[in-house]
Amino acid sequence: MVEFSYTLRNVMLGASLLGVMGGVVGSFALLRRQSLLGDALAHAALPGVCLAFLLTGQKSPPSLLLGATLAGVAGALFILVVVRWSRIKEDAAIGIVLSVFFAVGMVLLTRIQKLETGNQSGLDKYLFGQAATLVDDDLKWMSIVGAVVLLTVGLFFKEFKLLAFDNAFGASLGFPMRGIEVILTCLLVVVVVVGLQTVGVVLMVAALITPAAAARQWTDRLGIMVFLAAAIGGLSGAAGAVISASVERLPPGPTIVLVSSCALAVSLLFAPRRGLLWAYLRKRSVMARIRRENLLKDLYLMGERERGWSNFVSLSALMGLRGQGAREIERNAQPLLQQQLLEASRDDLRLTQAGFAEAQQVVRKHRLWELYLTRRLELPSDHVHRDAEAMEHALSEGAVAALEARLGFPKEDPHGRPIPPRRSR
């Protein structure tokens, strides 16, 4: 078990605080398609930190934080100006601010290092996220900022929602949307600045965006998403801190990011409704049902042509219809055999009574739909088959009954073939 040292406590606290704050403001950044603005702001903070140090000669958090904040705000303003008044698009503007501000920071940092030979000056930790160097003072500032962020978001929730969803509508209602945007951007800046020490410049964007992206998969309500993002961020932070402390040479910043990335992966795959895994399974099951219905239909149509359904149909005959392999047809037939909709004699297949009734319903839907297309939409009769092939699996009983009534209970489809009656039950 890992020892709950002072360092671990601080890293856990710092990481959780950042996770919570980051999740909250990150949710809005994500929804406003400004995920990478946080990246730019993190890089832009460096020259601010260095300048603050050069001007004040101190490494105290308030002055460094202030410097970083001002630099971040300057970066955000620069992006705005470039995008608004030149042909440079937003992505390039972000890239420019990100790299150039950081470069200026590098210049200043190396200068400072030359001035204080031997002392890494502690400014490095802003770059690389040395969470282990978090002291109580830093945590104090993080808590203050965190409280301010949560309070502000709580107070201005509907204003931020308006800003993210329909800026113009908000303006028409009389809300000062520009001002609200400024407030939100400032929140983003301070969260970035105060969290730099925990995860470092490169990984900051993940601290903001990854928990929010994970949260989005679980809910369709903004309030819940923000809350979940905070929870996922906070828990990932704590878990990452603990894991990093228990395994050798595992730096905390990257560990935290990987934990929340795993949370994102899990969310993407397994979240109810939105989860990719469920979507895949749903799709597979639908495809399988379609294939089974097609098999029943094929046997029915064959029987219609032969004017009798008592003969067994060989596998090779079925294979010829849709160019399917024997294995595939057997796979489709398996569940139908179990449900006693089909019966088999060696490799040959035949519809049972129940199977006949099922197949009839599919054919009925197909032909009614073809009739609808030719009569109502006046499509030529040779254009409707493809569409009906798809719709026959999609129409519900109710829709089909309504369709039949609308068409006046017809007896024949556009090709003169009989429309089977509704299943009597």
Partner 1 sequence: MTPDTPKTESAGGSVPPLEVHDLTVAYHTQPVLWDVDLTLPEGRLIAIVGPNGAGKSTLLKAVLGLVTPITGWVKIYGAAYSQRRSWVGYVPQRESVDWDFPTSALDVVTMGTYGRVGWLRRPSRRHRELALSCLEKVGISELARRQISQLSGGQQQRVFLARALAQEAKLYLMDEPFAGVDATTEQAVLTLLKELRHEGKTVVAVHHDLQTVGQYFDYVVLLNMRLVAAGPVATTFTHENLQLTYGGRLTVLSEAAEAFLAQRSAGKED
Partner 2 sequence: MTSAVVIQLVGGFVAASCALVGTFLVLRRMALLGDAISHAVLPGIVIAFLLTGSRAALPMVLGASALGVVTVFLVGVLNRSRRLYEDTSIGVVFPALFSVGVILVSRYASQVDLDLDCVLHGEIGLAPFDTLIIGGQSFGSKALWVTGGTLLLDLALVLLLYKELKIASFDPDLAAAVGFSPLLLHYLLMSAVSVTVVGSFESVGAILVVAMLVVPAATAYLFTNRLSTMLLLAVGIGVASSSAGYHFARWYDCSIAGAMAAAAGGFFVLGLLLSPRNGLIARAYVTKRLRERLNEQLVLLHLKRHGEAFPPPRASRTESVQERFGWSPSRWRHVVRRLEEQGLVERVGEDLQLTAAGARALEQTGTSVLAHCP
Give the binding site for partner 2 (CB under 8 A). Answer: 30, 33-36, 38-39, 43, 82, 85-89, 91-92, 94-96, 98-100, 102-111, 114, 127-128, 201-203, 205-206, 208-210, 213, 216-217, 248-251, 253-255, 257-258, 261, 264, 268, 274, 276
Alpha helices in 32-130, H assignment, sequence order: 37-56, 61-85, 90-115, 124-128
Quick note: the x/- pattern for partner 1 over 15-34, rule CB under 8 A, is ----------------x---
What is the torsional sign of CA 282, 288, 291, 297?
negative
Q: Give dist(CA 245, CA 14) in Å, integer.
A: 14
Q: Give dist(CA 121, CA 115) in Å, integer.
A: 10
Binding-site residue total for partner 1 (CB under 8 A)? 24
Residue whose CB is less far from partner 2, 88 or 144:
88
- Which of 6, 12, 10 is CA-nearest to residue 243? 12
Query: In Å, what is the CA distance from 43 to each residue of 30, 33, 127, 237, 297?
Result: 18, 19, 9, 21, 63
377 is a site residue for partner 1 (CB under 8 A): no
382 is a site residue for partner 1 (CB under 8 A): no
Who contacts 53 (Cβ-Cβ below 8 Å, separation ≥6)?
Answer: 59, 63, 64, 67, 112, 121, 123
Pick the piece of the chain touching partner 1 (CB under 8 A) from 59-67, 104-112, 167-175, 320-328: 167-175
Residues between 27 and 66 with contacts to partner 1, criterion CB under 8 A: 31
Residue whose CB is less far from partner 1, 118 or 398:
398
245: which 2 tokens? 């402390």
239 is a site residue for partner 1 (CB under 8 A): no
310: which 2 tokens? 């008592």
Q: Give dist(CA 153, CA 20) in Å, integer.
A: 12
Residue whose CB is less far from partner 2, 81 or 173:
81
Pick the piece of the chain touching partner 1 (CB under 8 A) from 96-104, 107-115, 168-176, 279-287: 168-176
The binder of partner 1 chosen from 81, 111, 165, 376 (CB under 8 A): 165
The binder of partner 1 chosen from 155, 279, 287, 390 (CB under 8 A): 155
159 is a site residue for partner 1 (CB under 8 A): yes
Report in angstroms how near the CB of residue 200 gets to partner 2 at its nearest.
Answer: 9
Q: Give dist(CA 400, CA 402) in Å, integer.
A: 5
Report in angstroms how near the CB of residue 372 gets to partner 1 at its nearest.
Answer: 16
From the CB of residue 210, how many other CB atoms can be counted at a distance below 10 Å?
32
Long-range contacts of 279-287 (CB under 8 A, 24+ apart): 286/393
349 DSSP β-pair partners: 313, 344
* Residue 361 touches which of partner 2, partner 1, none (Cβ within 5-8 Å per kind): none
Pick the piece of the chain touching partner 1 (CB under 8 A) from 8-16, 220-228, 232-240, 339-347: 220-228
Residue whose CB is less far from partner 1, 161 or 375:
161
The region that residue 378 occupies, defined by phi over 0 for left and psi between -120 and 50 for alpha, beta otherwise, is: left
Report in angstroms how near the CB of residue 286 gets to partner 1 at its nearest.
Answer: 18
295 is a site residue for partner 1 (CB under 8 A): no
342 DSSP β-pair partners: 351
312 is a site residue for partner 1 (CB under 8 A): no
Alpha helices in 315-352, H assignment, sequence order: 315-322, 326-338
Where is 159: in which H helix or E strand?
A: helix 157-165
* Coil, helix or strand at residue 145: helix
For the chain, state the CA radius of gyration. 32
Report in angstroms how near the CB of residue 17 gets to partner 2 at its nearest.
Answer: 19
The binder of partner 1 chosen from 174, 272, 380, 408 (CB under 8 A): 174
**Binding-site ranges for partner 1 (CB under 8 A):** 31, 155-156, 158-159, 161-162, 164-166, 168-175, 216, 219-222, 225
